[in-house]
């Protein structure tokens, strides 16, 4: 009965119609496609297993946990702060291969509001900071990783993490470590990064890894496209001119590159690019270590993928903070950085870290603040300055320059609301009124001020 549908009238022989041949051909193509997809999946899966065994230290690996969005909270998320110690080492056959060339404590603050985004602080720790390394005494903090790796103990990340926990007085549950080669390959595989060079410089003493130096490295000011080699030179340079030869300047450049790399990774949508994922797995597995599990990595990706640039903040224990002083060890003449409050006294540094989000936002606005004393007989300007304890708030103090009489203290915002973080900080800290117009008298500084604070005796209430 069914055959009769395709049998020509008066013929006793069955002849299939052309559409059936097309369907057969389609089925063949579909089978081949599915086979290739399956083979690719097995190939990719084997890479993921090898990758996982190398980087996810002491943890079980699951494909689903890496590629499926995770709602499982990471440690610290419920308390409002997720902390990860990021470290960069030379690795390979470089001199000082296991010294931590880069140490950045990343702190993520998820918004308490639904879909409210996340703020990220990148807190750079100078490599010469003298701290207690558990089991080894007072050492430069960058050596903690090396001590942990010595004699094949493979405990560098944990010992470095404990050293940072000790001087900051906090718990840091996570770490991630990458070496020079891994960093270079990641940048190359995302087709380079765009970096804003804030300060131009030339380095005439960049090592060529053969006992000599490369030709002078020159970095011009402005936006530049960098491949992995160039980006690595930019973050490693130690002998730049124009104020770029210090570890503090290098820390700032490292933060800039991290932000640029984050933007690039999100732009190319790594997890949706099979070929790119394959290349990254091949190259990074031998150069990357972490105690973050697959689900935790995916959770962090989901939390930060939409982070606005203005919410990724940079903060450093640098010379501008006024918290660290130079120190020459009497034992071996080694150059160290120690707390200015006293050797081993990290109380001011701990306070600085606690306020890192506030101070980083203030630093980004770089406010010019004046405090003018409108009272007689009381040093109210100095008293008020003592209330403003953020390192990047450095007011100019003096007596009132006008001829009006003030009955109460007041803040004048001369920016017209263009530096809202600073205004909010001044209002929250001083708890005084804000004028509705700019300051009507002359400022103490000839080039003006962003904010003028007029103080009267009520400032002490």
Measure the CA–CA gap between 112 and 47, rounded to whole angstroms.
38
- CATH level 3 topology of 366-460: Alpha-Beta Plaits (3.30.70)
Q: Is residue 176 classed as helix, strand or coil in its secondary structure?
A: strand
Confidence category of residue 45, pLDDT binned at 50, 70, 90: very low
Superfamily of chain region 70-355: LCP protein (3.40.630.190)
Residue 307 has pLDDT above 70, yes or no: yes
- Tally of CB atoms within 10 A around 271: 13
Highest mean pLDDT among 115-119, 225-229, 254-258: 225-229
Reading across the β-sheet that carries 451-455, which strands appear in turn?
Answer: 396-399, 369-373, 451-455, 410-413, 433-434
Structure confidence at residue 251 (pLDDT):
84
Q: Is residue 71 classed as helix, strand or coil in its secondary structure?
A: coil
Measure the CA–CA gap between 253 and 123, rounded to whole angstroms.
13
Tell whether pTM > 0.85.
no
Confidence category of residue 25, pLDDT binned at 50, 70, 90: low
pLDDT tens for residues 391-405?
Answer: 889 999 999 999 899
Structure confidence at residue 224 (pLDDT):
93
Mean pLDDT of the chain: 82
Whether the Cβ atoms of residue 286 and residue 92 lie closer than 8 Å to each other: no
Extents of the domains making up the chain: 3-55, 70-355, 366-460
Whether the Cβ atoms of residue 9 and residue 1 lie closer than 8 Å to each other: no
pLDDT tens for residues 352-397?
Answer: 999 999 999 998 899 999 999 999 888 999 999 999 988 889 999 9
Measure the CA–CA gap between 421 and 359, rounded to whole angstroms.
10
Measure the CA–CA gap between 88 and 104, rounded to whole angstroms.
9
Percentage of the residues of the chain whose pLDDT score is greater than 70: 79
Structure confidence at residue 116 (pLDDT):
64
DSSP states of 327-344: EE-TTT--EEEEETT-TT
């Amino acid at each position: 009965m069914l055959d009769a549908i395709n049998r020509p009238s008066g013929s006793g022989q069955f002849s299939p119609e052309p559409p059936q041949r097309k369907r057969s051909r389609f089925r063949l193509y579909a089978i081949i496609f599915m086979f290739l997809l399956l083979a690719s999946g097995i190939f990719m899966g084997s890479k993921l297993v090898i990758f996982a065994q190398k980087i996810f230290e002491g943890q079980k690996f699951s494909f689903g946990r890496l590629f499926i969005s995770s709602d499982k909270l990471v440690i610290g998320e419920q308390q409002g702060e997720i902390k990860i110690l990021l470290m960069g080492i030379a690795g390979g056959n470089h001199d000082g291969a296991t010294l931590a060339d880069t140490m950045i404590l990343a702190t993520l603050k998820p918004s308490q509001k639904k879909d409210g985004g996340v703020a990220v602080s990148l807190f750079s720790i100078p490599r010469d900071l003298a701290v207690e390394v558990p089991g080894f005494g007072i050492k430069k903090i960058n050596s903690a990783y090396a001590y942990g790796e010595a004699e094949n103990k493979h405990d560098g990340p944990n010992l470095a993490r404990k050293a940072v926990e000790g001087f900051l007085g906090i718990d840091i549950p996570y770490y991630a470590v990458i070496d020079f080669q891994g960093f270079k390959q990641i940048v190359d595989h995302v087709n380079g990064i765009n970096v804003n060079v804030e300060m131009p410089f030339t380095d005439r003493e960049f090592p060529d890894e053969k006992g000599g130096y490369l030709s002078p490295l020159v970095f011009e000011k402005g936006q530049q496209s960098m491949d992995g080699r160039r980006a690595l030179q930019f973050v490693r340079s130690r002998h730049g001119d124009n104020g770029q030869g210090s570890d503090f300047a290098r820390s700032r450049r490292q933060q800039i590159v991290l932000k640029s790399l984050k933007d690039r990774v999100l732009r190319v949508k790594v997890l949706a690019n099979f070929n790119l994922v394959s290349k990254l797995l091949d190259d990074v597995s031998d150069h990357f270590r972490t105690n973050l599990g697959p689900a935790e990595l995916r959770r962090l990706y989901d939390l930060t993928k939409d982070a606005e640039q203005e919410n990724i903040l940079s903060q450093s224990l640098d010379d501008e903070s006024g918290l660290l002083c130079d120190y020459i060890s009497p034992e071996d003449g080694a150059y160290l950085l120690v707390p200015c409050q006293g050797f081993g006294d990290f109380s001011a540094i701990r306070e600085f870290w606690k306020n890192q989000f506030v101070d980083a936002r203030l630093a980004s606005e770089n406010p010019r603040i004046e405090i003018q004393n409108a009272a007689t007989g009381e040093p109210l300007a100095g008293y008020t300055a003592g209330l403003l304890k953020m390192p990047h708030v450095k007011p100019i103090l003096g007596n009132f320059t006008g001829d009006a009489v003030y009955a109460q203290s007041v803040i004048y915002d001369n920016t017209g609301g263009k530096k809202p973080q600073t205004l909010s900080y001044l209002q929250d800290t001083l708890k005084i009124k804000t004028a509705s117009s700019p300051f009507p008298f002359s400022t103490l500084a000839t080039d003006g001020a962003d904010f003028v604070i007029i103080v009267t005796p009520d400032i002490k209430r």
